[in-house]
Amino acid sequence: MADGLAKAMDGHFDLYLLDYYLPDGTGLELCHLIRAFDSNTPIFFCTHASSISMPQIEAARAQGLIRKGYGFVEWLELAASQILS
C-alpha cells in the first residue's frame, strides 16, 4: 500500500486499478488515501476477493468493481473505455 500511495502522489494517472489485498493493507485503505488528495481520477477495483462489496466501493468513492476470472480482460477494457471516453 505504501508503494502504491507514493507512486500515486508522485505521478499523474488517468485511472487507478486497485486490488483488495495488498502486502501492507487493503485497496480500500489505499483508495481512501488517494481520495484525500485526488478526488477526480477514476478508481476501479480489480480483485477476486469476495471480502469487498459495491457499497464499500461506493463509500470509498471508487467507480467500480471488476471481478478477476472469466471475461476479466473484456470487462476491464469496457469499463476503462467508458470511463475514459
Residue range 4-58, pLDDT digits in tens: 999 999 988 999 999 999 999 999 999 999 999 999 999 999 988 888 999 999 9
SS3 81: helix
- Please tell me the total count of domains within the chain: 1
For residue 57, give the CATH number of its domain. Answer: 3.40.50.2300
Contacts of 67 (CB under 8 A, 6+ apart): 47, 48, 75
> Angle, to 10 degrees, between the axis of helix 2-10 and the axis of helix 27-35?
30
Q: Where in the sequence is the domain holding 38, given as residue range(s)?
A: 2-84
Residue range 45-83, pLDDT digits in tens: 998 888 899 999 999 999 999 988 898 899 989 988 888
Q: What is the rounded distance in angstroms from the CA atom of residue 83 to the CA atom of residue 26?
A: 23
Are residues 16 and 32 in contact, defined by beta-carbon separation less than 8 angstroms? no
SS3 63: coil
